[in-house]
Structure 1
Amino acid sequence: MNSMIIKPKNEILKKYIQYFLFFKKTDQELLNYTTFPNTNLCLAIYKHNQVSYTNEGETNLCEITNGNTFISRLYGFHKAPFNVNIHCALDQICIVFQPSALRVFTDESYENLMLSETVFDEIFPFERNFLDEIFDMTDFAKRADALEILLCENLKDNIPYKIKEALILINNNEFLSIDELSKNLKISETTLFRLFKNNLGQNPKSYLKTIRFRNVLNDILKPRNSLTGIAYQNQYYDQSHFIKDFKNLTGFAPNKIAEKISVTQKDLAWIYQKLENE
């Protein structure tokens, strides 16, 4: 399977879009990949596929099979490893949003969007021919350019000031407690919870936990970093708590994950493998 990350060129758009991700698979072999919780939100658009997604308890599984129409779904807010099984040929485009950035393009509730298979049409209802046109392009760079134009034309920055302030505070100190964050913002914890749920789609505790996990994962994938040092650096003062948290989010112990990762880039860490069709 071919995959490519392309980051936006437009300086304004970079505040809202982390990157575009393109997948192309032409064979019918069964392929599996696993990704891990992150703070971003992905709008995945499929050409001629069916998507079955189960996210219940410890099961976080997406099954992709042949179809005959466009499907577009949002993925994110994971609390467990995200497993994807691809049973067919695939042509997929992903728009990966920065935290809260979906609010720049739509006021629709996260709850409704996370259940929809026509998310693209709901966010961009007047772009009726866009998907036909962009999937006709074989060059990933041209697809990225077309996406940039579409997104720039639909920018309307309506992210509340308080959520922007919250993200700046967290960026400056990722170990803020919920109490400290609400006091810095001069709002109640109840208001903070509602602010995050309405504008990021997840509560502040989950968001902060995901940030800490991604920092830990990035540190583990760097050579010569000790697990004890990584744990303390990320304010885990109980090794058993550190290991339990990490296993819940990846399915592996911290000392085993590096050997399992197949693809590592600045924004990606995947376990990727071909499987035998049943």
Structure 2
Amino acid sequence: MQIKPASHIAHIVRHYLVLNGALPRAAWFRLFADGNTGLVFNTGNASLRQPGGRETQQRSWLYGQLSGYRDLDISGDLHWIIVVLQPYGAFHLWRMPATELTDRLFPAQELLGSSIDEISAALLSTPDLNNCINKLNAWISSLIDKKNAPEPLLQQAVQLINSAEGSMPVHALLKELKVNERMLERKFKQATGISPKQYSGIVRVNASAKKLQHKSGSLTAVAYDHDYFDQAHFIKDFRKYTGITPWQYQHSVDQLALNFIKF
């Protein structure tokens, strides 16, 4: 379930995502890139294990941009509230170069220290979801640097790429923004963790995934709708970011979110 943030923080928070479900045994889930960073608050007893790692139960996780996909082994009662930030959201809130978070999923305390514990405890002690969202709105509002808003160039670049569903060529983006490629790439990477071209590719795959999710047309039609040269190119690009084919995604049974599926 997606919930909109308070309007005054919408330039930092894209939406809240609430995931619930009891897992009788450990199950593998695939998370693939969606162009956003975020915070996961674990308000249940779910444990998480990444490939090659140990099972661990944390109250909060922080994740950066994914350049591809990540498989997660999850067990227990899944009760997560995910703060899905705008692509540049983590950079604005914590002023850490976003490239240092790329392809990372780790306990939030490692970066935020004990400051994350208070809001985690508040969410645990608040059974009502609406009150949880209100507390998150207030907490994030307190973190926002009101003297230094996200750079308009970045906001406009993200908006243009999203509006075109990732199909706007870089040269057209540069022309619209009236900026040179080197400057845009440097600023975009520092704030989002990836290049404008990578972000466009991720947005395009997610836009096509949404069509597949709603079974809107054949694979060929979806490919052409999103400016892929042909179906083969579409399949190759989709697999690059998700690890599966469009057909496999379209027929996956358990989709907890657009970019989060159970195997």
**Above 0.5 in TM-score?**
yes
Q: Aligned pair in 2 of structure 1 residues 158, 52: CA closer, same or farther (>3 Å)?
A: farther
Q: Which residue does the alignment assign to 1:232?
A: 224
Q: Aligned Cα RMSD in Å? A: 3.1
SS of residue paired to 1:15: coil
Correspondence 1:208 to 2:188: no
Query: Which of 17, 31, 36 is the equivalent residue of 2:32?
Result: 36
Q: Aligned pair in 2 of structure 1 residues 125, 104: CA closer, same or farther (>3 Å)?
A: farther
Cα distance, 1:262 vs structure 2: 2.0
Q: Which runs of 5 or more residues in structure 1 are unaligned?
A: 54-60, 274-278
Correspondence 1:105 to 2:96: no
Cα distance, 1:202 vs structure 2: 0.9
8 Å contact kept, 2:216–2:222: no
1:27-59 Cα distance to aligned partner (Å, 9 max, x none): 662123223321221212346777554xxxxxx
Q: Which residue does the alignment assign to 1:56?
A: none
Q: Which residue does the alignment assign to 2:10?
A: 14
1:219-272 Cα distance to aligned partner (Å, 9 max, x none): 2223351222221121112322112112233333323322214236xx635432
Q: Which residue does the alignment assign to 1:268?
A: 258
User: After the TM superposition, which of the residue ranges 225-234 and 169-178 deviates more from structure 2?
Assistant: 169-178
Distance of 2:32 and 2:114 partners within structure 1 = 31
Counterparts in 2 of 1:153-168, with a 5 A limit?
Answer: 153-156=142-145, 157-168=148-159
User: After the TM superposition, which of the residue ranges 177-186 and 144-153 deviates more from structure 2?
Assistant: 177-186
- How many residue pairs are counted as aligned between the two chains? 258
Distance of 1:254 and 1:116 partners within structure 2 = 25
Distance of 1:95 and 1:43 partners within structure 2 = 5
Query: Which of 56, 72, 80 is the equivalent residue of 1:84?
Result: 72
1:122-149 Cα distance to aligned partner (Å, 9 max, x none): 4586565332222122233221111111
SS of residue paired to 1:137: coil
Q: Aligned pair in 2 of structure 1 residues 32, 119: CA closer, same or farther (>3 Å)?
A: same
8 Å contact kept, 1:73–1:117: yes
Cα distance, 1:183 vs structure 2: 3.2
Q: Which residue does the alignment assign to 2:125?
A: 136
Cα distance, 1:203 vs structure 2: 0.9
SS of residue paired to 1:158: coil
Paired residue type of 1:271: I
User: After the TM superposition, which of the residue ranges 194-203 and 164-173 deviates more from structure 2?
Assistant: 164-173
Query: Which of 116, 131, 138 is the equivalent residue of 1:149?
Result: 138
8 Å contact kept, 1:51–1:63: no
Correspondence 1:198 to 2:198: no
Of Structure 1 and Structure 2, which has the larger fraction of its residues in helix?
A: 2
8 Å contact kept, 1:51–1:71: no
Following superposition, which runs of at least 4 residues in structure 1 exceed 6 angstroms of deviation? Answer: 47-50
Cα distance, 1:207 vs structure 2: 0.2
8 Å contact kept, 1:66–1:88: no
Distance of 1:169 and 1:234 partners within structure 2 = 15
Q: Which runs of 5 or more residues in structure 2 are unaligned?
A: none
Identity of matched residues, %:
21
Q: Aligned pair in 2 of structure 1 residues 37, 62: CA closer, same or farther (>3 Å)?
A: farther
TM-score, length of structure 1 as denominator length: 0.77
Distance of 1:24 and 1:108 partners within structure 2 = 31
TM-score, length of structure 2 as denominator length: 0.81
Counterparts in 2 of 1:114-125, with a 5 A limit?
Answer: 117-119=106-108, 122-123=111-112
Cα distance, 1:66 vs structure 2: 4.4
8 Å contact kept, 1:45–1:92: yes
Correspondence 1:93 to 2:85: no
User: After the TM superposition, which of the residue ranges 215-224 and 124-133 deviates more from structure 2?
Assistant: 124-133
SS of residue paired to 1:181: helix
8 Å contact kept, 1:64–1:88: no
User: After the TM superposition, which of the residue ranges 179-188 and 226-235 deviates more from structure 2?
Assistant: 179-188
